[in-house]
Amino acid sequence: MKLLLHEHDQAQYWTLNLLLEQVKRVLPQYTSQRICLKREREMEYQMSSYAGQGMDAKPRLLVVKGSFSVMGGAERDILRNLPFLKQLFTIQVATLDVVSELELLCQELKFPLLKPNRYWEVPKDPLSIIRDSATDSSLKFWKEIEGLDEAILESDMIHIISGDGSLSIIDLIPKSIPIHLHLLEPHRGLHEDVLHRKINGKPKRNLTLTKALLSKARKRDISMIKKLSSREKSSISGNSKYTVSRIKEIYDIEAGLLWPSISFDEFSSEPQNDEKENFDEISKPYIVNIGRASWAKGTWETISMLENTGLSMAHVGGGSSEEINQLISHAKSCNVTVWFAPRLTQNELSGLLRGARASVSMAHGEPFGLTPIEAFSIGTPALFVNEGGFTDTITDSENGRLIDRSDTKEWVHALEQSSDIKIRKKWAESGKERIKSLNLTCDMHADRIFQIFEKF
């Protein structure tokens, strides 16, 4: 079919054709120049290795965490270790979701903080979860961060802490740059059902159907971890023996072990001058339960266990308003007073723990759990379910209690033991010895990361 054009249209047509022909000739040359330039930049960064900048130069470490918004144990662990990593590395930090605590720390330590102009939020609707949209959307946000490409290329190692949005950055890292992944837990939403249960343990939807719908995302997760593991310059560590075993079970990978840390300055055995001692919102005796309210954290079961004990519960970690309202109703039916604390300062948390009968958790398959060692440090009895990473730090009846989930009678007995001054003192002393034996100091945590770097 012949195309008929007006005279002025024909002129535009031939001008456009001429322009396209020029683009076709120039584009391959331009693309080739861009590729060569990128390779030259990579070579320049490799040639300017820290080892060649003088004996006192430090290796350059980029610390990556997708999101800090939860500000749970993992996020607090990163913040407490950054000052100690500074002693061994030149640090930059990259994240998709900044919190004020991180911004203030980076300003104080003079660390460059790389972040997008608009913060990333984890897609939580069912369709996004099925499609694994979080991986693709987070990668898009990583690409938007100004200066991230340069930070990656000039790094001697990239230390990635797993979590929402973290792993997708791997697609931006050249194979010449060493990567260490601190895999705090395999993706629980894909490989377990605890996150697919309501606050009371009932399934949110048919679990068999849920598992089938997530099969594609699950395969993608396994593929990403295995692909990283197969890289020449890569290393993967779990945060507990339990997590290492789960990594082997799910990904068939032999992972290393990088313990979290504890700072005695944050959780001192002696009250600090500005530490809050009394909380009007809750009366003694009470126990402290830490972790975002969920079935996975065992919040509902902890309240059930306290029925008829006369003990109140201070819950730290927040949760959705809907689930907290359900927990309030459940607590009333169990005749248990519960205070859902707002986000607490470090001194407030220390004071709350110090005044408690015990720190208690019935979490399901907790990867490590910092709460037992925080309780050890302060001297508060640690009563925890005999599962997951809790077994790495607690030795039953020596420095706390490990109790079967369903043994309500033993939980009540442990709560009674926790009121005994002699037992409290014994468990506190043994707990501190356990911290020393595992060498869970921030100095050692930083040194272990440096040892991982040296292996590259």
How far apart, in whole angstroms, are the C-alpha atoms of residue 232 and residue 179? 10
In the predicted model, what is the mean pLDDT of residues 414-423? 97
Residue with tokens 């939403």: 189
Judge if the upstream peptide bond of residue 83 is cis by omega within 30 degrees of 0. Answer: no
How far apart, in whole angstroms, are the C-alpha atoms of residue 75 and residue 77? 5
Residue 3 pLDDT exceeds 60: no
Mean pLDDT of the chain: 88
| Structural domains of the chain, ranges and CATH numbers in brackets | 57-261+442-455 (3.40.50.2000), 286-438 (3.40.50.2000)
Judged by phi (left if over 0) then psi (alpha if -120 to 50, else beta), residue 180 lies in beta
Nearest alpha-carbon partner for 384 in 404, 410, 402: 402
Residue with tokens 């500005």: 274
Q: Which residues of 27-46 are buried (b: 16+ CB within 10 A; e: fewer)?
A: eeeeeeeeeeeeeeeeeebe
14-47 per-position pLDDT tens digit? 333 443 444 344 444 434 444 444 444 444 444 4
In this structure, what is the dihedral angle of CA atoms 94, 118, 316, 336, given to the nearest 10 degrees? -150
Residue 382 pLDDT exceeds 70: yes
Q: Supply φ then ψ for residue 63, to 5 degrees.
A: -95, 125
Radius of gyration of the chain from its Cα atoms, rounded to whole angstroms: 26
241-295 per-position pLDDT tens digit? 999 999 999 999 999 999 999 888 888 888 887 788 889 899 899 999 999 999 9
The distance from CA 367 to its chain's CA centroid, rounded to whole angstroms, is: 11
* 51-65, 262-276, 390-404, 424-438, range with the lowest pLDDT: 51-65
In the predicted model, what is the mean pLDDT of residues 162-172? 96
How far apart, in whole angstroms, are the C-alpha atoms of residue 107 and residue 88? 19
In the predicted model, what is the mean pLDDT of residues 60-64? 98
Q: Supply φ then ψ for residue 69, to 5 degrees.
A: -60, -30
Nearest alpha-carbon partner for 252 in 217, 225, 234, 278: 225
DSSP label at residue 147: T
Integer CA distances (angstroms), 27 to 15, 132, 169, 211, in order: 18, 35, 29, 47
**More reliable by pLDDT, 130 or 94:** 94
| Burial class of residue 292 in the structure, from the number of CB atoms within 10 Å of its CB (0-12 exposed, 13-18 middle, 19+ buried) | middle
Residue with tokens 């930070």: 151
pLDDT of residue 18: 40
> Sorting pLDDT into bands at 50, 70 and 90, what band is 57?
confident
DSSP character string of 256-306 = EE------TTTS-SS--TT-----TTS-SSEEEEES-SSTTTTHHHHHHHT
Yes or no: say if 236 and 247 are a contact pair by the CB < 8 Å rule: yes
- What is the bridge-based pairing of β-strands 256-257 and 234-238? parallel
293-342 per-position pLDDT tens digit? 999 999 999 999 999 999 999 999 999 999 999 999 999 999 999 999 99
How many residues are there in the chain?
456
Q: Helix or strand or coil: residue 160?
A: strand
> Sorting pLDDT into bands at 50, 70 and 90, what band is 5?
very low
Residue 48 pLDDT exceeds 60: no
* Cβ within 8 Å of residue 365, ≥6 positions away: 188, 192, 194, 242, 296, 387, 388
Write out the two tokens for 359.
């720190």
**Dmax of the chain from CA atoms?**
102
